[in-house]
Amino acid sequence: MRQHATTYRKEIKQLKQHLSAENLQYFEDFYESLQLHGIRYSEADLNQNSYNYLLDLVDAQKDGMTAWQLFGSSPDDPGKNLVVNMKKMSSKSQLNYMFLGSFLVISGILASRVSWTSSADTKISLVYILVMFAWTLLFVGFILKIFTLQIKLKNKVLGYLILWLYCSAFMTAGIFAIKYLTSMTLISVPIMIGRTIVIVGGICNILVLVKLVNNDKKQKAV
């Protein structure tokens, strides 16, 4: 049976104590790279591969070898090679992230328009909502694709440049939508429905933030 991700993290933390300063720095750089390139993969698989990698490094160190002699001069390369052969995030999980992102955007739009002091219905553009929903689906989907592309690119700077350009294009499209679409095909959203969506969206935002913070703490603990 495969060990749980938490177990691997504990084992990794213990094994790192046996590394020399040079090999430890190499492994830290490798682990950071693996987490970045492995955003579309399960945490358990990432930690299992990191653990196996660390075992090889500890054994090699006992024989007098350094990490760069065993794996190469760049800590980034082993991480790329590992994730290429790993099982990717399922299509269902990707869709969940895409729809979650779209829902958070829509709830954010409603939050900026729903009144908490008046009982009047909220006026909102149906065209604007649909466009932003579809655009956010595409944005999240392509973000996942871009992280996969970064694995194949040898130039890390180019990968970050592509990510920056894509995010800039998304922000520009959002500004365009706000300017030209917010007054098209206005519909009335009952005040209680609008408030409910905003509250649920806020709770989802908090849950997602808590999950991200917890994951970050887990990685730093390794």
Domain boundaries, the chain: 5-84, 91-221
Q: Which DSSP helix (H) or strand (E) runs through 123?
A: strand 122-125
Query: Exposed, middle or buried, 134 (CB in 10 Å: 0-12/13-18/19+)?
Result: exposed
At 162 the pLDDT is 76
Q: Is the pTM of this model over 0.75?
A: no
The overall average pLDDT reported for the chain is 76
Please tell me the least confidently modeled range out of 140-149, 160-169, 210-219.
210-219
Task: Give dist(CA 24, CA 39) in Å, integer.
Answer: 23
- pLDDT tens digits along 88-140: 666 666 777 777 778 777 777 777 778 777 777 878 888 888 888 888 888 88
pLDDT per residue as tens digits for the range 20-52 = 888 888 888 888 777 666 566 666 777 788 888
d(CA 35, CA 147): 11
For residue 2, the model assigns a pLDDT of 44
The residues pairing with 124 across neighbouring beta strands, listed in sequence order, are 187
